[in-house]
């Protein structure tokens, strides 16, 4: 009888342990299944449209920031800043050259700031799902560019008899599906032409 009671007691403990361990396991399986949700995506035509819009915003920010920075720098170095005309500045005798270089430096910094600021403002005006899909398409587009451009040839290698090297090495001029197809044809033509002209 004592042996039967011990066996029954151990079986009860084992059953209780299983019942206590099952719910966390079920929750773990449920959470893992929920984590594998499909990623948001957008059509390629919409992607190129968003990409072009983002470029336009960044270009406008660069122009606005650069112009404002140059005018502000020119005003500061020409009016506010006080320099002794009898002393050289950075080894330059003409202070006007220093003013121009200073204004250009401010313009360059302001232009870069305008690009970053305009890009961030553009992203703030878009939905989060759209931005996630855009980032995924950006990575996919970059991988496509890397895969289809000639890997063994640098972008600066010119073709004999031509005025430029590899056409649009980074795909910056691609703004539509038609542009992408045209880019693929140019890359194939470049690869064939270069392989024929390069020495064996």
Nearest to 104 by CA among 92, 93, 96: 96
At residue 143, the pLDDT reads: 94
Q: How far is CA 189 from CA 94, 143, 193, in A?
A: 52, 20, 6
pLDDT in tens, 157-170: 544 444 456 778 88
Q: How far is CA 144 from CA 42, 63, 138, in A?
A: 16, 30, 10
Alpha-carbon gap, residue 141 to 180, rounded angstroms: 10
At residue 154, the pLDDT reads: 53
Token couple for 79: 């009016």
At residue 167, the pLDDT reads: 78
> Tokens 């002393």, residue?
87
Nearest to 55 by CA among 126, 136, 134, 118: 118
Contact 160, 137 (CB under 8 A): no
- The pTM of the full predicted model, rounded to 2 decimals, is 0.67
3-state secondary structure of 128: helix
Contact 166, 186 (CB under 8 A): no
pLDDT tens, the chain, 200 aa long: 444 444 444 444 444 443 343 444 333 333 334 445 667 789 999 999 999 999 999 999 999 999 999 999 988 887 876 666 566 666 666 667 778 888 999 999 999 999 999 999 999 999 999 999 999 999 999 999 999 887 766 544 544 444 456 778 888 899 999 999 999 999 888 888 877 665 54
Residue 103: CB partners within 8 Å, gap ≥ 6? 69, 70, 73, 74, 76, 77
At residue 39, the pLDDT reads: 74
């Amino acid at each position: 009888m004592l042996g039967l009671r011990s066996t029954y007691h151990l079986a009860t403990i084992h059953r209780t342990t299983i019942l206590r361990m099952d719910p966390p396991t079920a929750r773990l399986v449920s959470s893992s299944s929920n984590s594998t949700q499909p990623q948001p995506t957008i059509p390629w035509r919409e992607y190129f449209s968003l990409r072009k819009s983002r470029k336009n915003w960044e270009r406008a920010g660069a122009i606005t920031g650069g112009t404002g920075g140059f005018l502000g720098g020119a005003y500061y170095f020409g009016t506010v800043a006080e320099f002794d005309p009898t002393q050289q500045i950075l080894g330059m005798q003409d202070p006007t050259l220093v003013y121009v270089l200073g204004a250009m430096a401010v313009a360059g910094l302001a232009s870069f700031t305008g690009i970053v600021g305009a890009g961030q403002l553009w992203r703030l005006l878009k939905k989060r799902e759209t931005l996630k899909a855009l980032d995924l398409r950006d990575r996919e587009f970059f991988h496509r560019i890397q895969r289809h451009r000639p890997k063994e040839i640098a972008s600066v290698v010119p073709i004999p008899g031509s005025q430029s090297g590899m056409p649009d090495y980074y795909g910056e001029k691609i703004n539509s599906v038609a542009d992408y197809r045209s880019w693929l044809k140019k890359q194939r033509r470049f690869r064939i032409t270069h392989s024929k002209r390069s020495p064996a």
